[in-house]
């Protein structure tokens, strides 16, 4: 298997003049787990006991929620994170959103989404799921949130953990090729599924 190595140096750059904004742009990698794991457990409780869904139905909806997340992850990474803006303001915003990660891929405190962004997005998708899917929403939302937590955790691990198992090592190499060989392919981080579906794997 092809080996790609990344320096262990946690290079970083200041993005904001405001000390508060700069502080908020650095996030500990365990933050998504601390924030969202209790919510995932509560949503599964709500699906099984409050909404009286069967275990099989809850499990199936949970898996669908994970798949919805992986599709959203792919679409955001490909079409938003790698959009090339033409204006100065657009380029500055792009650097803050994703460019900084490609320029400083070893910055351990900028590998997961800040709560100031993830919490409003979580509320938006929770409301959207509730309006569209009604009593099925908690099980779907649990899977969706679990997919997001896996994404952030896998993303951090691919940059900073030594992967000893075959799947982990493959995901690490897959993502690092996106960084260091071809950033126009390999948009899936937690899963390459949609890269295969939409033909954006490497040839």
Full-prediction pTM beyond 0.75? yes
Counting other chains too, the contacts that 195-199 makes at CB distance below 8 Å and 24 or more residues apart are 195/74, 198/74
Report pLDDT digits (tens) over 115-134: 888 899 999 999 999 999 99
Report pLDDT digits (tens) over 145-158: 999 999 999 988 88
What is d(CA 42, CA 38) in angstroms, rounded to the nearest whole number? 6
Report pLDDT digits (tens) over 87-105: 878 767 666 666 666 667 7
pLDDT score for 6? 46
Counting other chains too, the contacts that 178-181 makes at CB distance below 8 Å and 24 or more residues apart are 179/6, 179/102, 179/105, 180/4, 180/6, 181/4
Q: Token match 């949609």: residue? A: 194
pLDDT at 35 over 60: yes
Can you give the residue ranges of every domain in the chain? 28-198
């Amino acid at each position: 298997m092809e080996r790609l190595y990344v320096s262990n140096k946690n290079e970083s750059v200041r993005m904001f003049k405001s000390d508060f904004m700069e502080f908020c742009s650095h996030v500990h990698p365990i933050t998504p787990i601390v924030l969202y794991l209790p919510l995932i457990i509560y949503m599964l409780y709500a699906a099984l006991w409050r909404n009286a869904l069967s275990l099989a139905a809850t499990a199936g909806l949970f898996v669908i929620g994970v798949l919805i997340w992986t599709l959203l992850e792919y679409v955001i990474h490909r079409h938003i994170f790698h959009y090339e803006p033409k204006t100065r303001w657009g380029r500055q915003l792009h650097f803050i959103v994703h460019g900084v990660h490609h320029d400083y891929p070893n910055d351990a405190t900028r590998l997961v989404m800040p709560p100031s962004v993830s919490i409003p997005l979580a509320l938006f998708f929770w409301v959207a799921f509730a309006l569209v899917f009604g009593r099925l929403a908690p099980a779907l939302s649990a899977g969706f949130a679990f997919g997001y937590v896996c994404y952030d955790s896998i993303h951090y691990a691919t940059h900073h953990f030594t992967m000893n198992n075959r799947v982990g090592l493959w995901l690490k190499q897959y993502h690092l090729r996106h960084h260091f060989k071809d950033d126009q392919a390999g948009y899936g981080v937690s899963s390459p599924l949609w890269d295969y579906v939409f033909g954006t794997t490497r040839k």
